């Protein structure tokens, strides 16, 4: 297999007994080397063909006439909804109690509506069912990420934290609307803390409604997200719709998207703090950056923070990929938080994006990441614009499910329901 400009490739690849001559431009060949390091040219092309064939089949499923409606409880800004929308679902409604997050959801999910509701009060669920009945909308898939801070590994943990019971709103709503599939996501700590009682309650409550409920931890880098992040998913399916299969990882560890590959094209903000809306100063340098830019001709939410000089000097002392422990005394004993003063590594995925924004630093520049950089590391595309003040925007990004991870789950749900639809139409 040859590559280079417009020269025809002279390499051959055997596919089902046939020899195929492939022309690979230099730029594409370099991108193949980026995603499949250490593999031969034939191996790279073979993997791309297998991936393409698999996803072409999914595209065919996504172009059928079946309209699958999604309601998102505890939607936040809508990372999970964006993933399902990108998997060709019709996102109908997002429900949350955060005004800024709801504004962001509304502006980024097409014709979807929003509702501000306190779901501690289950009587409020009737506002949702009334809305759906008035418009003759059937809920096919219920998704949501109810807060369970009592089970989070970040901060104090309390088995009896009332927020741990917010998932019950999803249980009650599922009982009221009988969606074909329920998708609930949360922190992985739910599976271990307090002997796994919280996770088992979720499984038991949906099982009592007739759902076949499966749970699994998914690792975001396995699905193209440039961030070390684990989330536990609970997927429940009514028996007549078959058995759900979780998505198979499609990115090998040696090919995980790195910080530099994800945000290396964004302005440094060394000279100024930037603006809420800006022009791209350069072209995308990686496939991931091209993916993020695909539907946006402007750069949004890329505004720096005005640090004091002493803060900049402290950040400058932290080596790439290290944290406060690499600093001289007394700084190396000043913090109890393990990730305090951590600088990202350019050649690795980022650490988990959280709702704060002052623990992590850019791998190269002496500042915290911008909202857009954090959003990129969460796999939010550049056309997804965040609203509210900067702290609210950071919180929305940190609370979200990475859209690419949500899309991977959504495609599996779509494939399952499409197979059932095809069987019914035979």
User: Is 425 part of any domain?
Assistant: no
- Last residue of one domain, picked from the residues 251, 281, 316: 251
Q: Is 75 within 8 Å of 99 (Cβ atoms)?
A: no
**Rounded CA gap, 400 and 422, in Å?**
33
Q: Would residue 148 show up in a list of annotated catalytic residues for this protein?
A: yes
Whether 90 and 197 share a structural domain:
yes
User: Is 419 part of any domain?
Assistant: no
Whether 203 and 234 share a structural domain:
yes
Whether 111 and 194 share a structural domain:
yes
Angle at 252 between CA 248 and CA 254, to 5 degrees: 165
pLDDT tens digits, one per residue of 219-263: 999 999 999 999 999 999 999 999 999 999 999 999 999 999 999
What is the reported pLDDT for 335?
Answer: 86
Cα 33 from chain centroid (whole Å): 25
- Last residue of one domain, picked from the residues 251, 273, 297: 251
Whether 193 and 287 share a structural domain:
no
Burial of 386 (0-12, 13-18, 19+ CB in 10 A): buried
Reported as a pLDDT band with limits 50, 70 and 90, residue 392 is very high
**Rounded CA gap, 232 and 217, in Å?**
4
**Count of H-run helices and E-run strands, the chain:** 13, 13
Reported as a pLDDT band with limits 50, 70 and 90, residue 92 is very high
Domain count, the chain: 3
Whether 245 and 288 share a structural domain:
no
Whether 299 and 159 share a structural domain:
no
Percent helix, strand, coil in the chain (nearest 5)?
40, 15, 45
pLDDT surpassing 50 at residue 4: no
Whether 191 and 128 share a structural domain:
yes
User: Is 424 part of any domain?
Assistant: no
pLDDT surpassing 70 at residue 393: yes
Whether 321 and 372 share a structural domain:
yes
User: Is 377 part of any domain?
Assistant: yes
Q: How do beta strands 360-361 and 342-343 pair?
A: parallel
Q: Is 301 within 8 Å of 375 (Cβ atoms)?
A: yes
* Domain residue limits at 17: 1-32+43-57
- Last residue of one domain, picked from the residues 251, 284, 314: 251
User: Is 223 part of any domain?
Assistant: yes
User: Is 405 part of any domain?
Assistant: no
Whether 148 and 17 share a structural domain:
no
User: Is 374 part of any domain?
Assistant: yes
Whether 269 and 145 share a structural domain:
no
Structure tokens at 249: 């990882």
Q: Is 295 within 8 Å of 380 (Cβ atoms)?
A: no
Whether 263 and 135 share a structural domain:
no
pLDDT tens digits, one per residue of 7-50: 344 343 444 444 555 556 555 555 565 556 566 766 666 666 66
CATH number of the domain bearing residue 305: 3.90.120.10
| Share above pLDDT 90 across residues of the chain, in percent, rounded to a whole number | 72
What is the reported pLDDT for 192?
Answer: 86
User: Which of the two residues, 25 and 74, has the higher pLDDT score?
Assistant: 74
Catalytic residue among 1, 85, 141, 148: 148
Q: Is 267 within 8 Å of 281 (Cβ atoms)?
A: yes
CATH number of the domain bearing residue 159: 3.40.50.150
Widest distance between CA atoms in the chain: 73
Nearest to 274 by CA among 398, 390, 402: 390
What is the reported pLDDT for 338?
Answer: 80
Nearest to 232 by CA among 193, 199, 272: 199
Q: For residue 143, give the H/E element and its range.
A: strand 141-144
Whether 246 and 259 share a structural domain:
no
Reported as a pLDDT band with limits 50, 70 and 90, residue 173 is very high
Phi, psi of 60 (to 5 degrees): -65, -40
């Amino acid at each position: 297999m040859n590559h280079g400009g417009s020269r025809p490739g002279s390499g051959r690849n055997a596919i089902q007994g046939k020899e195929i001559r492939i022309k690979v431009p230099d730029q594409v060949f370099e991108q193949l080397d980026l995603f499949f390091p250490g593999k031969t040219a034939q191996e790279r092309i073979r993997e791309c063909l297998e991936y393409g064939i698999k996803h072409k089949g999914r595209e065919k499923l996504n172009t059928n006439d079946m309209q699958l409606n999604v309601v998102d409880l505890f939607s936040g800004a809508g990372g999970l909804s964006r993933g399902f929308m990108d998997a060709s679902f019709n996102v109908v409604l997002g429900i949350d109690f955060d005004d800024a997050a709801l504004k962001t959801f509304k502006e980024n999910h097409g014709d979807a509506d929003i509702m501000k509701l306190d779901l501690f009060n289950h009587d409020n669920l009737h506002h949702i069912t009334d809305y759906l009945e008035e418009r003759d909308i059937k809920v096919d898939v219920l998704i949501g990420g109810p807060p369970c801070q009592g089970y989070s590994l970040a901060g104090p943990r309390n088995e009896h934290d009332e927020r741990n019971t917010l998932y019950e709103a999803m249980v009650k709503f599922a009982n009221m609307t009988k969606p074909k599939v329920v998708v609930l996501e949360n922190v992985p700590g739910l599976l271990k803390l307090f002997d796994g009682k919280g996770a088992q309650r979720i499984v038991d409550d949906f099982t009592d409604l007739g759902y076949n409920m499966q749970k699994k931890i998914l690792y975001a880098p396995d699905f193209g997200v440039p961030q070390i992040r684990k989330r536990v998913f609970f997927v429940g399916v009514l028996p007549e719709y078959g058995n759900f299969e979780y998505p198979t990882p499609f990115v090998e560890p040696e090919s995980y998207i790195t910080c530099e590959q994800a945000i290396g094209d964004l302005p440094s903000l060394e000279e100024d703090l930037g603006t809420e809306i800006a022009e791209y100063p350069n072209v995308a340098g990686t496939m991931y950056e091209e993916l993020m830019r695909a539907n946006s001709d402007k750069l949004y939410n890329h505004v720096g923070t005005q640090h004091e000089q002493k803060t900049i000097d402290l950040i400058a002392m932290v080596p790439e990929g290290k944290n406060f422990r690499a600093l001289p005394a007394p700084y190396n004993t000043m913090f109890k938080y393990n990730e305090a003063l951590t600088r990202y590594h350019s050649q690795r995925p980022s650490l988990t994006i959280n709702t704060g924004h002052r623990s992590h630093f850019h791998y190269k520049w002496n500042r915290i990441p911008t909202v857009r950089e954090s959003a990129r590391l969460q796999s939010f595309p550049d056309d997804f614009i965040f609203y509210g003040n900067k702290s609210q925007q950071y919180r929305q990004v940190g609370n979200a499910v990475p859209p690419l991870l949500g899309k991977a789950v959504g495609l599996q749900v779509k494939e399952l329901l499409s197979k059932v639809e095809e069987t019914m139409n035979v």
